[in-house]
Amino acid sequence: MEKTEKKHQRRVRYKGTHPKSFDAKYKEHQPDKYIDTIEKIIQKGDTPAGMHRPICVDEILDILDIKSTDVGLDATLGYGGHTTEILKKLDNKGHLYAIDQDPIEIKKTKKRLSDLGYGPEILTTKNINFSDIDYLVLDSGLFDFALADLGVSSMQIDNPERGFSFKHDGPLDLRMNPQKGIPASERLRELSKDEIIGMLIENADEPHAIKIAEAIISSYTRGEMINTTKAFHQVIEQALSFLPKDQKDEAIKKASQRSFQALRIDVNHEFEALYEFLEKLPIVLKPNARVAILSFHSGEDRMVKKSFQYFYRQGVYKDISDKPIRPSMAEQSSNGRSRSAKLRWAIKS
């Protein structure tokens, strides 16, 4: 009898009901259509893909004390969460100038806000860097209030094509405006070992800066380029391979987060842009104008504090916050991304 050998077929791997990749999360990309899905994700303390949850909204509105006829500036439009709340206060009477350096997300946000009924009569959006507010004011006139919610948006972090996170593989880019400057992969290639160490320490207080810089340089020496988020993460894994097994995973995760942050700050010239913005802010404000700045990095919070204190001593601001306001415990537990936020305010003389 002929023996028929049955070829073993590999069982198809069960992928689960929840899409894991950014693109596959089609429900999260259509928040108007799948309200229940969005609410479930938010209740879990997460942020749906393609969305950004505004932080410290009540505290910011309290500081800005918006009158319906005000002319205001939102220097970091993002998803438009804060902008929407500000526009409600303006009640179709005043005007809001909302800017963002991200040419990809600003288009989507403009459309979303226009669909909500906020057209050019109440809202002007511009794709510019906030370091250029002195040019903006030539069109807008002086502002009654200004808000800046620093750092990156959840849409930028979560989109693998933008290369902001090691959680997904993608090009190591990290630019908020991909039309300007060079991607992080090219920037990293330009830096010497000492410059990488300096960047990791100054931008992210990275305790393993020397080991990581050595691993980056030896990867280049072996002819292995670091062009993707995964490749950058792997170099950090190699650099920390000396750590004991029980500490390694957590240490690699933290070091990766800090290293991506350090590189992002460098590629986007974030400290330089913030310094210029803070220097120019008083000249674009009307007397008694109110300013709120939300930061997520101790270096940025220090810059905001120092600038407010300096201009307060000069009599340019008549009052400033003496310590940062933190998100409520309820907000911190309902939105993990709010945990490091610090909010400071100033009032123009």
Ligand X SMILES: C[S@@+](CC[C@H](N)C(=O)[O-])C[C@H]1O[C@@H](n2cnc3c(N)ncnc32)[C@H](O)[C@@H]1O
Binding site for ligand X (CB under 6 A): 52, 54, 76, 78-82, 99-102, 105, 129-131, 149, 151-153, 176, 273
- Could you count the other beta carbons within 10 Å of the beta carbon of residue 92? 12
Specify the residue, 140 or 153, whose C-beta has the smaller distance to ligand X: 153
What would you report as the CA-atom Rg of the chain, rounded to the nearest whole angstrom?
23
Instruction: Give min distance, CB of 208 to ligand X, in A.
Output: 27
Residue nearest to ligand X (CB): 78
Instruction: Give min distance, CB of 80 to ligand X, in A.
Output: 5
Specify the residue, 155 or 216, whose C-beta has the smaller distance to ligand X: 155
Report the alpha-carbon distance of residue 255 to residue 297 in Å, rounded.
Answer: 15
DSSP 8-state symbol, 37 = H
Specify the residue, 99 or 240, whose C-beta has the smaller distance to ligand X: 99
Instruction: Give min distance, CB of 99 to ligand X, in A.
Output: 6
Specify the residue, 219 or 268, whose C-beta has the smaller distance to ligand X: 268
Q: Count H helices, E strands: the chain?
A: 14, 7
Specify the residue, 99 or 213, whose C-beta has the smaller distance to ligand X: 99
Instruction: Give min distance, CB of 148 to ligand X, in A.
Output: 8
CA distances from 218 to 154, 193, 252, 306 (A): 33, 10, 18, 39
Instruction: Give min distance, CB of 268 to ligand X, in A.
Output: 7
Instruction: Give min distance, CB of 110 to ligand X, in A.
Output: 13
Q: Where does the chain have alpha helices with state H?
A: 35-43, 57-64, 81-90, 103-115, 133-140, 154-158, 184-190, 193-204, 209-221, 229-239, 245-267, 270-280, 298-313, 329-334
Query: In the sheet where 123-126 sits, what is the strand order?
Result: 123-126, 95-99, 71-74, 143-149, 285-295, 342-348, 317-320
Specify the residue, 176 or 209, whose C-beta has the smaller distance to ligand X: 176
